[in-house]
C-alpha cells in the first residue's frame, strides 16, 4: 500500500537520517525516489492485489480418483496463473498433501498444517468420512472447504456451512438407481456397501428414494472400511446368494470394488437372473484404467449397470481431453497409463470456481487477513501450538462468493442452488458389454429416465435402451427367486368347520388340504415358471371358525408367507397385506325362508298394490269429472238431466281404459286433458299386462323379507358366519346394532336358526357371501336368496406387503381364467344341484305407486291448468254478462247463483262461429252430392233454419 509506505517514512525519520549523505544531482534524486517507490510497492502491494494466495489440497495419491485429480488440479493452477484476465496478477500457491488412504486422524493433521500456513481455502478432502471431520475445523477457522469427490448427501447441511460440494451428491445418484429399479418393476434390492459415512448415508438415501417408489432394501451387507479380506467378501456374498432378491446395488470404493465382483463371479452370482447395479465408482475405474478391457477383470463385470455423472460435450472439454495424455505422462508417468475420469473434470473446474470467487473477493475490497482465535488461545497446554493458527477474517465473504459463482467449465454449468448443491444434476446409465461400455440412457432430476442426451430432444423418449444382462441375456430378470436356504413357503390355511367344499383338511393328515381354494392355488403355482417349495400350516382349533383378521395378522408378524382360503378382499385388509387377483366374486346376500305363491281367483289383482289400484281408480273419476266440466257448455253429449250426466261421467271415465269412449270432445282444454290421460292409460295397460303375464307363466316365490333394506330397518335378529367380515360390515356400514346379530358356525346351524325364527330364539334371515349360500341352498329348497347382492367383493390369496410372488400369482390366476381351468375348478366343487337351479328365489315385484307417480302428476297438472284456464275464461265472460244485466249492485250470493247459472247454460255461438259452421256444413253437403252423383249447385241448404 502506498499510503502505508509514506506513513512509515514519516514515523521513522531516523531511518532516513542514518544513511550517509549523498551528493547527487537533481536528476539522480528522482531516480532514487523512483527506486524507493518500487521497493515499497514490492513490500506493500496496492489494495486488493497480492502476489500469491495459499490454497491447500487434500487428496490420496495412491487412489484412482486422487491420481487423476492431482494432475487435473496442477493443470488448472497452471492455466489460471498464466491467464491475465483473472485475479489481476495474483498467483495461486497450491500445497498438495497426500492423505494416503487415511480417512481420519492423519487427515486432521494435514488440514491443521494447511491452516497454519494462512490458507484461504482447501480443495478436498477426497473422502466423505474425512470431510465430516475437517468440516468442523473449517467452520471454526472460517476456511471454505471445496470437495470434488465427497458425495455423502449429509455433508450439505446447516451443520457444515463452509463445506461446498463441487460435484453431484449421492442423493441424486440414488434417485437414479431407484428410477432404474422402478422402471423394471423390481421391489426389493440388496445393498452392498462400505460401513462408513459415505456408504451408510448413501444407502440411507437409496432406501428413502426406493420407498417413494414402493420399493425397499430387503437386506444390507456392510463391509469394514479398509480392513476386510476375500473371506469376508465370500461370506457376505454367500449369504446374499441364499436370499430371494437378485437385484444388488454395489456402493463401494473403486479400490476394491472389482474384488467384490470377482468373488461374485466365482460364486456364480454373475449369471442369468442376477442384476448388478454399481454406482459411479465402476465408471470411474473404467475411465481411469484404459488397459482394464484387455485383462481378465473385464469378465467379472459383464452385464453390470453403472452410472456416470453426465457432462455435456463442449469445445473446452475436447481441448482439455486432447491435452490429457501429455499432462498425465508428465505428472504421473511412473504409475502407468492414466485415463481422464469424471472426478478429474470436476477437480479442474473446482480450482476455476475458487479462482473466480477469489477474483470477485478482491474486487469487492475484501482482504486476506488472519487473526488469532480466542478459543484456541484459551486451550490448555501449548504443545500443539494451536495459537499459531489464524482465523480467516473475511472467510465468510469468500464462501458467499464461491456460492455465487456461475460459469461454464469442463463439466458444464457450474452453478450452486440455494441448498449448496450443483444445479441440474444428471447421470449417464451405462451397460458393460464385452470389452467396452454402452450408454443405454440418461437420468435427470427433472425428466427421470430418458434415452436422449437432452430430455426435450426430438429423439428422446422415456425409459432405457435394451440391456445385455449378466449371463449374456436380453430378457429382463425377474429380480427375485425363491430363497435357496432350504426354507419352504409357509402357507397358512384356516381350519373351518363349515363348507368343506371350500377348504378342509384331509382326514387322517395334519398338513394336507383339499377344496376349491386349494385346487385354485395349486393350479396357479403350476403355471409359474419356477418351482415353489411349500408346506401347509393349519390355523385354528378345528372347533370354531378362526377369525380371518387374526389369520392375516400372522403374515404381518412373519409366521406365514401366504394365506390360502376363503379370504375376502376388503379395504382394511389391503392396508396390511397384498392380495392377488380375485379368483371368485362373492358379495353378501340375504337368505330367508320362502314360500310358493299359489294361483287364485284374484290373481289378476297382483300386478298392482292396493294403493296403486286406489289412486288409479280415483284418477279415472277425476279426469272424467274434469272433462265433463270443460265440455258441458259446448257438447250436448255432456248435457241433460243430473242422473244422465253422472252416468256419462262414470262411463266416459272408465271407457278410456279401453280407448272405447263414444263421447266426442270439442273444447281445446278438454282434448288436452284427454290426450295426456290416454297416454297415462297406455303406460298403465302395458305395465299391467307385462306383470300379469309374469305372474301367470313363471313360478313365484315370496318371503316376508324383501332384501337388505327391509331387513336393516326392522328389529329382527340376523345370522352371519362367525369370523367373517360380515359382522363389521353390518355394524359399521349399515348401522345395525350388534345385539341383533347372531354368530353361526355351520350350515346346520343356519338351517336350525331359520327354522326356529326370531320368535323361538332363531333368526329372520342369514347374511353371508354368495359362494357359501349357493352351497347352502343346493339341498335346501325351503330357503332362498331375497333381494339383490349388496356388495361386490372377491376372494384372493394374501401375501406380505410388496411380495413379488403376489404379482406372479395374479398373472397365473388370469391365465387360469383365460384357458377355462378356473371355471372347471369352480364347477367341480361349487356346482349347483337341481334344487338351487330352478330359478332365482325372488319375491314378487308388485308394481307400486312410486313407479308411476310422475305420470299421475303430469295428468293432475294438466287437469288443474285446464280447470284454471276454464274458470278464468268463465269469470271474464260472466263479468261482461253481469255488466249488461246491471248486476253490479246485487249481493254476493245473488252473483254466485247468477255465475253458476251462467256456467250451466249452453254456450251461444257468435256470428263468426255460425259462418264457419255454415261453410263447413255446406262443404260437407257438396261432398255428399258429388259422391251420390248429384250436381251440388242444385242443392240448397237452409242454414238459417238449422237451429
Q: How far apart are CA 433 and CA 286, in angstroms?
A: 12
Contact between 117 and 95 (Cβ < 8 Å):
yes
pTM of the model: 0.66
pLDDT: which is higher, 34 or 125 = 125
Peptide bond connecting 570 to the previous residue in cis, omega within 30 degrees of 0:
no
Confidence of residue 18 (pLDDT cuts 50, 70, 90): very low
Q: What is the pLDDT of residues 98-147, one digit of tens each?
A: 887 655 666 677 777 777 788 899 998 989 989 998 998 888 889 999 99
Contact between 284 and 65 (Cβ < 8 Å):
yes
DSSP 397-451: HHHHHHHT-EEEETTEEEEB-TTSSBSS-EEEEEEEETTEEEEEEEEETTTEEES
Q: How far apart are CA 193 and CA 252, in angstroms?
A: 5
- State residue 670's pLDDT score: 74
- State residue 23's pLDDT score: 45
> 919: which residues sit within 8 A by CB, 6+ positions away?
none
The pLDDT of residue 33 is above 70: no
The three cell numbers locating residue 895: 252473483
Q: How far is CA 327 from the centre of its chain?
A: 52
The pLDDT of residue 352 is above 90: yes
DSSP 61-112: TTSHHHHHHHHHHHHHHHHHHT-TTSGGGPEEEEEEEE-TT--SHHHHHHHH
Please state the rounded mean pLDDT for residues 855-870: 77
Average pLDDT taken over every residue of the chain: 80
DSSP 738-756: GGGEEEE-SHHHHHHHHHH
Please state the rounded mean pLDDT for residues 688-716: 74
How many residues does this entry show for the chain? 947
Residue 594: HSE in the Cβ half-sphere, 13 Å Cα cutoff: 29
Residue 309: HSE in the Cβ half-sphere, 13 Å Cα cutoff: 26
Instruction: Give percent above pLDDT 70 in the chain.
Output: 77
Please state the rounded mean pLDDT for residues 312-324: 93
Q: How far apart are CA 519 and CA 503, in angstroms?
A: 9
The three cell numbers locating residue 519: 385346487
Q: Which helix (H) or strand (E) holds 494?
A: strand 489-494
CA-based Rg of the chain, rounded to a whole angstrom? 50
Q: ∠860-861-864 over CA atoms, to 5°?
A: 85
Q: How far apart are CA 900 and CA 913, in angstroms?
A: 24
Report how far apart, in Å, the C-alpha atoms of 312 and of each of 57, 427, 439 are: 27, 11, 14
In the three-class reduction of DSSP (H, G, I as helix; E, B as strand; rest coil), residue 589 is classed as: strand
Q: How far apart are CA 519 and CA 498, in angstroms?
A: 18
Confidence of residue 785 (pLDDT cuts 50, 70, 90): confident
- State residue 239's pLDDT score: 92
- State residue 834's pLDDT score: 45
- State residue 31's pLDDT score: 53
The pLDDT of residue 841 is above 50: no
Q: How far apart are CA 359 and CA 352, in angstroms?
A: 10
**Which of 906, 870, 900, 877 is CA-nearest to residue 633?**
906
- State residue 882's pLDDT score: 63
Contact between 141 and 115 (Cβ < 8 Å):
yes
Q: ∠124-127-133 over CA atoms, to 5°?
A: 80
The pLDDT of residue 340 is above 80: yes
Q: Residue 718 pairs with which residues in a beta bridge?
A: 741, 765
Residue 941: HSE in the Cβ half-sphere, 13 Å Cα cutoff: 17
Contact between 539 and 495 (Cβ < 8 Å):
yes
pLDDT: which is higher, 594 or 171 = 171
Q: Residue 642 pairs with which residues in a beta bridge?
A: none
Rounded to a whole number of angstroms, the distance between the first and last alpha carbons of the chain is 138
Q: How far is CA 289 from the centre of its chain?
A: 44
Q: Residue 277 pairs with which residues in a beta bridge?
A: 249, 305
- State residue 649's pLDDT score: 73
- State residue 68's pLDDT score: 93
Report how far apart, in Å, the C-alpha atoms of 550 and of each of 415, 573, 725, 781 are: 56, 11, 12, 35
The three cell numbers locating residue 107: 487427515
In the three-class reduction of DSSP (H, G, I as helix; E, B as strand; rest coil), residue 201 is classed as: helix
Contact between 93 and 53 (Cβ < 8 Å):
yes
Contact between 579 and 797 (Cβ < 8 Å):
yes
Beta strands 216-223; 188-194: pairing state: parallel
Report how far apart, in Å, the C-alpha atoms of 226 and of each of 153, 254, 255, 537 are: 21, 12, 9, 47
**Which of 621, 608, 609 is CA-nearest to residue 655?**
621
Q: How far apart are CA 443 and CA 695, in angstroms?
A: 70
Q: How far apart are CA 164 and CA 169, in angstroms?
A: 11
Residue with C-alpha cell 475436447?
A: 318
Contact between 584 and 795 (Cβ < 8 Å):
yes
Q: Which helix (H) or strand (E) holds 276?
A: strand 275-278
The pLDDT of residue 20 is above 50: no
Q: How far apart are CA 760 and CA 764, in angstroms?
A: 11
Q: What is the pLDDT of residues 472-522, one digit of tens each?
A: 999 999 888 876 655 788 999 999 888 889 999 998 888 899 999 999 999
- State residue 619's pLDDT score: 81
Residue 120: HSE in the Cβ half-sphere, 13 Å Cα cutoff: 30
Residues 337/341/344/346 CA torsion (nearest 10 deg): 170
Q: What is the pLDDT of residues 258-311, one digit of tens each?
A: 999 999 999 999 999 999 999 999 999 999 988 887 778 889 999 999 999 999
Q: Which helix (H) or strand (E) holds 674?
A: helix 668-697
Please state the rounded mean pLDDT for residues 784-791: 85
Instruction: Give percent above pLDDT 90 in the chain.
Output: 39
Max CA pair span of the chain: 170
Q: How far is CA 688 from the centre of its chain?
A: 52
Please state the rounded mean pLDDT for residues 773-797: 87
Q: How far apart are CA 931 and CA 723, in angstroms?
A: 90
Q: ∠692-694-698 over CA atoms, to 5°?
A: 135
Amino acid at each position: 500500500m502506498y499510503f502505508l509506505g509514506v506513513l512509515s517514512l514519516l514515523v521513522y525519520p531516523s531511518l532516513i537520517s542514518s544513511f550517509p549523505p549523498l551528493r547527487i544531482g537533481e536528476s539522480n534524486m528522482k531516480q532514487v525516489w523512483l527506486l524507493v517507490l518500487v521497493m515499497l510497492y514490492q513490500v506493500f502491494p496496492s489494495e486488493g492485489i497480492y502476489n500469491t494466495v495459499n490454497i491447500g489440497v487434500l487428496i490420496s495419491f495412491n487412489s484412482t480418483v486422487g491420481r487423476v485429480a492431482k494432475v487435473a488440479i496442477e493443470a488448472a493452477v497452471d492455466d489460471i496463473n498464466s491467464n491475465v484476465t483473472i485475479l489481476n496478477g495474483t498467483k495461486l500457491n497450491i500445497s498438495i498433501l497426500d492423505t494416503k488412504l487415511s480417512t481420519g486422524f492423519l487427515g486432521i493433521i494435514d488440514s491443521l498444517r494447511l491452516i497454519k500456513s494462512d490458507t484461504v481455502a482447501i480443495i478436498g478432502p477426497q473422502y466423505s468420512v474425512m470431510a465430516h471431520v475437517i468440516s468442523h475445523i473449517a467452520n471454526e477457522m472460517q476456511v471454505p472447504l471445496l470437495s470434488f469427490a465427497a458425495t455423502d448427501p449429509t455433508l450439505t447441511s446447516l451443520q457444515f456451512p463452509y463445506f461446498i460440494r463441487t460435484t453431484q451428491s449421492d442423493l441424486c445418484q440414488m434417485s437414479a438407481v431407484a428410477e432404474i429399479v422402478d422402471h423394471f418393476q423390481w421391489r426389493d434390492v440388496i445393498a452392498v456397501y462400505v460401513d462408513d459415512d459415505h456408504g451408510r448415508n448413501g444407502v440411507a438415501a437409496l432406501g428413502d428414494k426406493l420407498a417413494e417408489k414402493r420399493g425397499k432394501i430387503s437386506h444390507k451387507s456392510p463391509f469394514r472400511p479398509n480392513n476386510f479380506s476375500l473371506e469376508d467378501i465370500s461370506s457376505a456374498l454367500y449369504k446374499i446368494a441364499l436370499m430371494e432378491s437378485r437385484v444388488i446395488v454395489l456402493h463401494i470404493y473403486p479400490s476394491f470394488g472389482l474384488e467384490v465382483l470377482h468373488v461374485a463371479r466365482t460364486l456364480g452370482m454373475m449369471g442369468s437372473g442376477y442384476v448388478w447395479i454399481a454406482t459411479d465408482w465402476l465408471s470411474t475405474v473404467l475411465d481411469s484404467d484404459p488397459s482394464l478391457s484387455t485383462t481378465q477383470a473385464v469378465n467379472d463385470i459383464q452385464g453390470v449397470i453403472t452410472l456416470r455423472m453426465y457432462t455435456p460435450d463442449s469445445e473446452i472439454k475436447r481441448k482439455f481431453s486432447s491435452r490429457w495424455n501429455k499432462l498425465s505422462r508428465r505428472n504421473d508417468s511412473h504409475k502407468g497409463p492414466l485415463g481422464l475420469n469424471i472426478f478429474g473434470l470436476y477437480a479442474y473446474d473446482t480450482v476455476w470456481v475458487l479462482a473466480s470467487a477469489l477474483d470477485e473477493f478482491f474486487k469487492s475490497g475484501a482482504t486476506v487477513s488472519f487473526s488469532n482465535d480466542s478459543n484456541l488461545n484459551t486451550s490448555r497446554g501449548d504443545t500443539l501450538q494451536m495459537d499459531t493458527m489464524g482465523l480467516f477474517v473475511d472467510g465468510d465473504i469468500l464462501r458467499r462468493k464461491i456460492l455465487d459463482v456461475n460459469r461454464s467449465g469442463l463439466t458444464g454449468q457450474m452453478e450452486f442452488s440455494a441448498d449448496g448443491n450443483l444445479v441440474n444434476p444428471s447421470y449417464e446409465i451405462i451397460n458393460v458389454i464385452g470389452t467396452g461400455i454402452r450408454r443405454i440412457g440418461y437420468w435427470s432430476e427433472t425428466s427421470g429416465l430418458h434415452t436422449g442426451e437432452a430430455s426435450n430432444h426430438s429423439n428422446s423418449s422415456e425409459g432405457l435402451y435394451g440391456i445385455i444382462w449378466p449371463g449374456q441375456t436380453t430378457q429382463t430378470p425377474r429380480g427375485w427367486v425363491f430363497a435357496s436356504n432350504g426354507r419352504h413357503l409357509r402357507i397358512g390355511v384356516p381350519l373351518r368347520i363349515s363348507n368343506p367344499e371350500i377348504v378342509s383338511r384331509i382326514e387322517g393328515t395334519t398338513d394336507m388340504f383339499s377344496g376349491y381354494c386349494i385346487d385354485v392355488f395349486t393350479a396357479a403355482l403350476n403355471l409359474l415358471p419356477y418351482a415353489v417349495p411349500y408346506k401347509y400350516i393349519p390355523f385354528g382349533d378345528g372347533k370354531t371358525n378362526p377369525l380371518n383378521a387374526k389369520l392375516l395378522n400372522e403374515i404381518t408378524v412373519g409366521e406365514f408367507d401366504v394365506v390360502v382360503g376363503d379370504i375376502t378382499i376388503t379395504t382394511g385388509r389391503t392396508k396390511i397385506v397384498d392380495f392377488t387377483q380375485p379368483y371368485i366374486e362373492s358379495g353378501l346376500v340375504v337368505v330367508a325362508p320362502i314360500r310358493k305363491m299359489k294361483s287364485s281367483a284374484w290373481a289378476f289383482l297382483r300386478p298392482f298394490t292396493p294403493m296403486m289400484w286406489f289412486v288409479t281408480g280415483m284418477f279415472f273419476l277425476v279426469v272424467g269429472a274434469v272433462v265433463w266440466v270443460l265440455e258441458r257448455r259446448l257438447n250436448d253429449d255432456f248435457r241433460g238431466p243430473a242422473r244422465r250426466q253422472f252416468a256419462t261421467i262414470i262411463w266416459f271415465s272408465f271407457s278410456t281404459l279401453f280407448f272405447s269412449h263414444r263421447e266426442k270432445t270439442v273444447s281445446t282444454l278438454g282434448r288436452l286433458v284427454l290426450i295426456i290421460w290416454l297416454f297415462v292409460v297406455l303406460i298403465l295397460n302395458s305395465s299391467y299386462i307385462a306383470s300379469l303375464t309374469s305372474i301367470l307363466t313363471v313360478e313365484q316365490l315370496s318371503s316376508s323379507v324383501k332384501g337388505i333394506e327391509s331387513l336393516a330397518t326392522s328389529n329382527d335378529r340376523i345370522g352371519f358366519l362367525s369370523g367373517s367380515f360380515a359382522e363389521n360390515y353390518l355394524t359399521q356400514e349399515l348401522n345395525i346394532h350388534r345385539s341383533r346379530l347372531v354368530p353361526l358356525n355351520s350350515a346346520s346351524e343356519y338351517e336350525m336358526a331359520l327354522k326356529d325364527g326370531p320368535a323361538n330364539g332363531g333368526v329372520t334371515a342369514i347374511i353371508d357371501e354368495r359362494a357359501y349360500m349357493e352351497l347352502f341352498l343346493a339341498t335346501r329348497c325351503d330357503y332362498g336368496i331375497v333381494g339383490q347382492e349388496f356388495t361386490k367383493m372377491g376372494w384372493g390369496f394374501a401375501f406380505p406387503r410388496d411380495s413379488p410372488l403376489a404379482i406372479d400369482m395374479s398373472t397365473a390366476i388370469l391365465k387360469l381364467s383365460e384357458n377355462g381351468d378356473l371355471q372347471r375348478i369352480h364347477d367341480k366343487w361349487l356346482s349347483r344341484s337341481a334344487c338351487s337351479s330352478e330359478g332365482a328365489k325372488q319375491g314378487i315385484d308388485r308394481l307400486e305407486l312410486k313407479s308411476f307417480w310422475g305420470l299421475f302428476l303430469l295428468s293432475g297438472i294438466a287437469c288443474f291448468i285446464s280447470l284454471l284456464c276454464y274458470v278464468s275464461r268463465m269469470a271474464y265472460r260472466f263479468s261482461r254478462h253481469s255488466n249488461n244485466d246491471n248486476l253490479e249492485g246485487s249481493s254476493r250470493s245473488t252473483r254466485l247463483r247468477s255465475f253458476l247459472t251462467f256456467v250451466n247454460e249452453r254456450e251461444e255461438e257468435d256470428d263468426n262461429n255460425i259462418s264457419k259452421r255454415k261453410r263447413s256444413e255446406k262443404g260437407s253437403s257438396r261432398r255428399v252430392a258429388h259422391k251420390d252423383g248429384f250436381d251440388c249447385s242444385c242443392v240448397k241448404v237452409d242454414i238459417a233454419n238449422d237451429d
